[in-house]
Chain A
Amino acid sequence: DAGVTQSPTHLIKTRGQQVTLRCSPISGHKSVSWYQQVLGQGPQFIFQYYEKEERGRGNFPDRFSARQFPNYSSELNVNALLLGDSALYLCASSPRIEGETQYFGPGTRLLVL
């Protein structure tokens, strides 16, 4: 089975622009989570979605939003990009919401100039 896939792999934007990142979970997984990993640090939780509903949100501004589609894929949107948004954005999926291991995709590397 294919693992978690993310697109695009790399992205360059300028300050003030908007970006959309995409994630397809492992087949059969209904939960998708997003993490931001700034260079040299551990990943930070942004959102979790389960059955198309937001189930958790980390300490990120309202410029960050996400949604989950009926096929359980997900998009992360970031508006009004700042230089500090430059990071590796990781998507993780799990079968359900409770007590499950999360499996990560390869990430999308975003550079904001």
Chain B
Amino acid sequence: GNSVTQMEGPVTLSEEAFLTINCTYTATGYPSLFWYVQYPGEGLQLLLKATKADDKGSNKGFEATYRKETTSFHLEKGSVQVSDSAVYFCALSRIQGAQKLVFGQGTRLTINP
């Protein structure tokens, strides 16, 4: 079946550090891939997406590249800020009669000043 595996958290970094959160997936065919972010007490916000192999999604300094050969979609940011502290979810979407998102377990990121 379809599944998403994320890097275990929590992750704690200092401001301006480089961030990588690993995400790998298992799916039949060619899913769309997403990163969502959840701030404390809130719902999910779409951070970025990629719909086909080698696509790069980017937003707010975050980037992720759809790697079909390694079935990965790792999230990166060159210089994190305190305001980036949140839980990050990797997800895939497959159209099989229903467009459902399959999420990873989430990675909690804390940035210290």
Contact status A104-B45, CB under 8 Å: yes
Q: A101-B46, A103-B46, A105-B43 are in contact. Are A42 and B99 (CB under 8 A)?
A: no
Q: A90-B43, A104-B45 are in contact. Are A33 and B99 (CB under 8 A)?
A: yes
Contact status A101-B34, CB under 8 Å: yes
Q: Is A73 an interface residue (CB 8 A)?
A: no
Q: What is the chain B residue whose CB lies nearest that of A109? A: B41
Q: A104-B44, A104-B45 are in contact. Are A43 and B99 (CB under 8 A)?
A: no
CB contact list, A27-76 vs B, under 8 A: 31, 33, 35, 40-45, 48, 55-58
Tell which of B14-22, B66-74, B101-109 binds the partner: B101-109
Rounded to whole angstroms, the CA-CA distance of A105 and B45 in the bound complex is 9
Interface size range on B against A: 20 to 34
A84 to chain B, nearest CB (A): 18
Contact status A42-B43, CB under 8 Å: no
Other-chain residue from A56, A92, A104, A106 in contact with B98 (beta carbon distance below 8 A): A56
Rounded to whole angstroms, the CA-CA distance of A49 and B101 in the bound complex is 14
- Report chain B residues within 8 Å CB of A25: none
The chain B residues found within 8 Å of chain A, CB to CB, are: 4, 32, 34, 36, 42-46, 49, 51, 89, 91, 93, 95, 97-106
Contact status A98-B44, CB under 8 Å: no
Contact status B104-A56, CB under 8 Å: no
Other-chain residue from B34, B44, B46, B97 in contact with A56 (beta carbon distance below 8 A): B97
Other-chain residue from B44, B45, B101, B105 in contact with A45 (beta carbon distance below 8 A): B101
Contact status A43-B42, CB under 8 Å: no
Q: What is the chain A residue whose CB lies nearest that of B4? A: A42
Contact status A106-B43, CB under 8 Å: yes
Contact status B43-A102, CB under 8 Å: no
Rounded to whole angstroms, the CA-CA distance of A36 and B100 in the bound complex is 13
Rounded to whole angstroms, the CA-CA distance of A46 and B79 in the bound complex is 37
Rounded to whole angstroms, the CA-CA distance of A90 and B46 in the bound complex is 14
Q: A56-B99, A94-B99 are in contact. Are A106 and B42 (CB under 8 A)?
A: yes
